[in-house]
Amino acid sequence: MHTGHYISGVGHVALIGWLIFGDVFAAEPLPFEATTVSVISGSEFAAMVAAGRAPQSTTEVAQPSSPEVTPDAPEIAATEDPVAGQTPPEQAQTPATEDAPDVSDLAALPQADVSDQAPVLPDPPADVAVLVPEVSDRPVPQAAERVAPEAIAQPDPEARPDPVEQEAVTPNASGETQQDPAEATAPEAAATEIVTEAEQPSAVPLQSARPPARRPDPPVQQAAQPVEAAEPAAPAEDTTEDAVASALAEALAADSSAPAVPQGPPLSAGEKDALRVAVSSCWNVGSLSTDALNTTVVVSVSMTQDARPVTSSIRMASSSGGSEQAARRAFEAARRAIIRCGAKGFDLPVEKYGQWQDIEMTFNPERMRIK
């Protein structure tokens, strides 16, 4: 019954005894260098330090006695060293003297205009007390009337303020343009957060390294070329790919009642982000109440195929976090953002129209409350 206990007890006793008497943990001391020190008293230390100090000058100093000089100098016998066996060194040849260079063509140095008059120096500035500003460890952004997700430098004064940046379109020499003439537009200067008077400005980049989103130029319409009647093609070789493709085409063509809406693959993260940034640049929450800034609204909108919002389709799908009045104000700000920045069409891929024909945008101002 207790066999296990007995075995365990014996084993433990053996282990403990081995640890005590077996000298298991006795390790050789690590090598080290020892320096002999001696303990001295305070008075001895003071005396030792005093001995090392420079002596103080005193006026009465015992003069050393002059050394005794013996009147008779010892005689020194001069003897010649033996030179036998040594040969004199050979005389080195002197190099031939070089001809002096011809300096007749050199122009004479101009006469330096040196005046004896001392130069007149400007008056030194008067003494001015300079207040050293308090330096904060935390970089503080530049103040600007407009606060935006990304800092924007002062735009070209010629450019008309507009959320969508656009270069000016002017007629060429012949007075023709491929686009309608338009003036340049640029977003207004902006900071990334509100900077109060209590915060000191510091050197921060005025413009994001990220290039601003720019709409691609519209495709140039080519003049329609007459198409020659093509001869009937020879029947292609029957392959699996052709069979699948033709089957898909036939199947999709069978639903002839529905309008042709290109579905395309889902929008990429970059395409969604571009849409998000575009709407953000027009979503102005500066005039919203604090209650409205606590309200998240979901806004649904239908889009035309040229990526413009259908104004009449914009409606509030839901809201949360605030009163009904606050939700209404928050919705109005969201609607303005969609209409304003969508007036020229969002940058969305036409071939994926089916993916963004209907959009639900959630406007969440949580991060804007702490700007």
Partner 1 sequence: MRLLGMVLAVTLGCVSPSAGSAQAQGDGPLRIEITEGVIEPLPFALPVFQAETADAPGLAAQISQVVSADLSGTGLFREIPATAFISTVSNFADPVQYADWKAINAQALITGAVAVQGNQLTVKFRLYDVFSGAEMGSGLQFTGTPDGWRRMAHKVADAVYSRITGEGGYFDSRVVFVSETGNKDARQKRLAIMDYDGANVQYLTDSSAIVLAPRFSPSGDRVLYTSYETGFPRIYVLDVGSVQRRVLESQDGTMSFAPRFAPDGQNIVFSLSQGGNTDIFAMNVAGGGATRLTSAPSIETAPSFSPDGSQIVFESDRSGSQQLYIMPASGGEARRISFGPGRYGTPVWSPRGDLIAFTKQNSGRFHIGVMRTDGAEERLLTASFLDEGPTWAPNGRVIMFTRESQGAGGRSSLYSVDISGRNLRPVRTPDGGSDPSWSPLQK
Which residues, 159 to 188, sit near partner 1 by CB under 8 A? Answer: 161-162, 188
Q: Which is nearer to partner 1, 51 or 132 (CB)?
A: 132
Structure tokens at 148: 């935006």
- CB nearer to partner 1: give 11 or 286: 286
The CA angle 46-47-51, to the nearest 5 degrees, is 115
* Part in contact with partner 1 (CB under 8 A); list of ranges 57-65, 205-213, 215-223, 251-259: 251-259
Binding window for partner 1 (CB under 8 A); candidates: 9-17, 26-34, 224-232, 334-342: 334-342
Stretch that binds partner 1, among 33-41, 174-182, 216-224, 337-345 (CB under 8 A): 337-345
Rounded to the nearest whole angstrom, what is the least distance from the CB of residue 148 to partner 1 in the complex? Answer: 5
Q: Is 10 helix (H, G, I), strand (E, B) or coil?
A: helix
Q: Which of 33, 80, 127, 145 binds partner 1 (CB under 8 A)?
A: 145
Q: Residue 359 belongs to what H/E stretch?
A: strand 358-363
* 94 or 239: CB nearest partner 1: 239
Q: CB nearer to partner 1: give 94 or 287.
A: 287
Question: How far, in Å, CA of 320 to CA of 128, rounded?
Answer: 59
Write down the least CB distance from residue 116 to partner 1, Å: 50
Out of 30, 70, 250, 270, the residue judged to bind partner 1 by CB under 8 A: 250
DSSP-based three-state secondary structure for 368: helix
> Is 134 near partner 1 (CB under 8 A)?
yes
CA-to-CA distance for 261 and 23, rounded, in angstroms?
88
Q: How far is Cα 346 from Cα 341, in angstroms, rounded to an integer? A: 7
For tokens 């006026």, name the residue. 59
Q: Which long-range contacts (CB under 8 A, 24 or more apart) does 14-17 make?
A: none
Show contacts with partner 1 in window 296-325 (CB under 8 A): 300, 311, 325
Q: Which of 360, 365, 291 is nearest to 327 (CA)?
A: 291
How near is the Cβ of 154 to partner 1 at its closest, in Å?
A: 15
Considering beta carbons, is residue 14 or 204 the nearer one to partner 1? 204
Closest CA to 166 of 212, 221, 220: 212
In this complex, which beta carbon is closest to partner 1, that of residue 44 or of residue 273? 273
Is 366 a residue that touches partner 1 (CB under 8 A)? yes
Q: Is there binding between residue 262 and partner 1 (CB under 8 A)?
A: no
Site string for partner 1, 1-40 (x = CB under 8 A): ----------------------------------------
Number of chain positions touching partner 1 (CB under 8 A) = 82
Name which of 274, 284, 297, 292 is nearest 364 in CA terms.
297
Residue with Cβ nearer partner 1 (226 or 265)? 265
Looking at residues 229 to 248 of the shown chain, list those that interact with partner 1 (rule: CB under 8 A). Answer: 238-240, 242-244, 246-248
Two tokens, residue 246: 């033709």
Please give the Cα distance from 188 to 165 (Å, whole number): 10
Enumerate residues 52-71 that contact partner 1 by CB under 8 A.
Answer: none
Interface residue with partner 1, options 151, 164, 186, 292 (CB under 8 A): 292
Furthest C-alpha separation in the chain: 144
> In the numeric block, which tokens belong to residue 227?
């198409």
Give the Cα separation of 15 and 22 in Å (integer).
Answer: 10
Quote the CA–CA distance of 254 and 260 in Å, as a whole number.
12
